[in-house]
Structure 1
Amino acid sequence: MGKDKLRKFAEIDTFHNVYQMEEGKPLQGKWAAEHFKNNNPVVLELACGKGEYAVNMAKAFPEKNFIGIDLKGNRIWRGARTGVDEQIENLAFLRIQIEDIVDYFDQDEIDEIWITFPDPQPQDSREKKRLTFPGFLAKYKTFLKPGAKINLKTDNDGLYAYTVEKVEELGLVCHKKTDHLYTSEFYDEVLKIKTHYERIYLKQDKNINYIQFSLV
């Protein structure tokens, strides 16, 4: 492991806005009250990477709480560092395997989920790793409030098509969907937030897909 990664791992251990593995479990059902110290809605960004969506949404919506979730601490470090430096108090990060997410949130605790440019896991053998695989959707249902929205933003046409298919197969409620976000009617202040990778994709003239749906 390089010295820069080691430095970042050491630093996130000192950040008040980062919880790692077992540390997060005592907050199950208590994120708003005990970490954020309010009763505001809680929104998750899954596979958050550097947390660009979580950071920018936290700035734009101070009346909501945001938690970025990823396993890679050297990536989480960037968003967490920004949160500390800019004193963004409605922002936190959780470093865990997303497969274990049900251990960290309680029934009706989460108001919305964002999945922004996740690994599309294109191989058929890795379907169960896709964050919109029905097994993951079942996990999310254990802690999402009724009618809560799940947002997927991706440059990968295959993952988008797969998600649309699963939403239809499972009879879920689809609120919005487009395979060309930036020319669609859905483009707004939240969706215009761009991650590092999205800016690269747009320079390559790749289309950006977006779907918003709710579990039944």
Structure 2
Amino acid sequence: MGRNKLERFRQNEANPNVVQPGKERFEKIKGNWKELQFQNNHPLVVELACGRGEFTVGLARHYPEKNFVGVDIKGSRIWKGSSQASEEGLENVAFLRTQIENLEASFAPGEVDELWITFPDPRPKERDEKRRLTSPRFLQIYRQIMNREGAIHFKTDNTGLYIYTEELLASRPDIRVERKTMDFYRSEWREEHHGIRTRYEKMFMEKGETIKYVVFSLNPL
């Protein structure tokens, strides 16, 4: 393991805005994010597969009245976002190091008020469908932790994943699609993201890909 990566892991251990295995707070955080991590009662917004945390930190800058948690399994990735948040004094940002499959171990039922799925791996092979973050398997996980009034935002450059997700959501009577577009930056909602773009989003756009966007919510069963 490289020296830089070891140093980043050391900083994650010391940084109070990183919640990860080995820390006492990791074991107690479920159902207690607002009390233990943020010390307020603001809405809780979670970004999945947040990578370097550009989107999590960017949203936190614009919405100080909300709490933001970026989720990723790679400690060397979340180090970037956690360090940036610390440098800027953003107290409404935290990062959770865990597998997305294990979200229910870190969030109580109804604890999450808003969810973002930004540029996930499209997993194009049929045998990998269950690993797609918009598959029925993951939708069931989100249902367990989401506030019933909460919105789920999905952004992707991948046309195949967008169509898969759009068709799946349309087939589910327990899901309400609130908005969708195959070209976000030509849509009426483009200003709502305040120009925040992840590294992958910039890369895809430079290649001429349009950004697809869906917002939906999970109706009570």
> TM-score by structure 2 length?
0.94
What is the alpha-carbon distance in structure 1 between the residues aligned to residue 153 and residue 193 of structure 2? 11
1:62-141 to structure 2, matched below 5 A, reads 62-141=64-143
Match of 2:48 in 1: 46
Match of 1:205 in 2: 208
What is the alpha-carbon distance in structure 1 between the residues aligned to residue 85 and residue 77 of structure 2? 13
What is the alpha-carbon distance in structure 1 between the residues aligned to residue 142 and residue 187 of structure 2? 28
Match of 1:196 in 2: 199
Match of 2:2 in 1: 2
Alpha-carbon RMSD:
1.1
Structure 2 residue matching 1:32: 3-state secondary structure? helix
- C-alpha distance 22-124 of structure 1, shift in aligned 2 (>3 A): farther
Structure 1 outlier segments of 4+, above 6 Å: none
CA shift for structure 1 position 105 = 0.5
What is the alpha-carbon distance in structure 2 between the residues aligned to residue 126 and residue 117 of structure 1? 16
Quote the sequence identity (%). 44
Structure 1 residue matching 2:101: 3-state secondary structure? helix
CA shift for structure 1 position 77 = 0.4
Aligned AA (1:184): S
Unaligned runs of 5+ in 1: none
Say how many residue pairs are matched: 216
Question: Is the Cα contact below 8 Å between 1:42 and 1:64 reproduced in 2?
Answer: yes
Structure 2 residue matching 1:21: 3-state secondary structure? coil
Question: Is the Cα contact below 8 Å between 1:76 and 1:93 reproduced in 2?
Answer: yes
Structure 2 residue matching 1:189: 3-state secondary structure? helix
Structure 1 residue matching 2:71: 3-state secondary structure? strand
What is the alpha-carbon distance in structure 1 between the residues aligned to residue 14 and residue 152 of structure 2? 31
What is the alpha-carbon distance in structure 1 between the residues aligned to residue 209 and residue 146 of structure 2? 32
Post-superposition CA distance 1:46-82 (Å, at most 9, x none): 0000011110111100000000000001110000001
Aligned AA (2:206): K
Question: Is the Cα contact below 8 Å between 1:176 and 1:186 reproduced in 2?
Answer: no
Q: Which moved more, 1:114-123 or 1:58-67?
A: 114-123
Match of 2:145 in 1: 143
Structure 2 residue matching 1:13: 3-state secondary structure? helix
Question: Is the Cα contact below 8 Å between 1:19 and 1:93 reproduced in 2?
Answer: yes
Structure 1 residue matching 2:59: 3-state secondary structure? helix
What is the alpha-carbon distance in structure 2 between the residues aligned to residue 185 and residue 100 of structure 1? 35
Aligned AA (1:89): E
Is the aligned partner of 1:21 residue 2:21? yes
Structure 2 residue matching 1:213: 3-state secondary structure? strand
CA shift for structure 1 position 192 = 2.9
What is the alpha-carbon distance in structure 2 between the residues aligned to residue 170 and residue 5 of structure 1? 43
What is the alpha-carbon distance in structure 2 between the residues aligned to residue 163 and residue 183 of structure 1? 20
Structure 2 residue matching 1:188: 3-state secondary structure? helix
Q: Which moved more, 1:189-198 or 1:36-45?
A: 189-198
Match of 2:217 in 1: 214
> TM-score by structure 1 length?
0.97
Match of 2:167 in 1: 165
Match of 2:158 in 1: 156
Question: Is the Cα contact below 8 Å between 1:19 and 1:94 reproduced in 2?
Answer: yes
CA shift for structure 1 position 22 = 6.0
CA shift for structure 1 position 165 = 1.1
What is the alpha-carbon distance in structure 2 between the residues aligned to residue 4 and residue 163 of structure 1? 38
Unaligned runs of 5+ in 2: none
What is the alpha-carbon distance in structure 1 between the residues aligned to residue 121 and residue 7 of structure 2? 26
Match of 1:187 in 2: 190
CA shift for structure 1 position 191 = 6.0
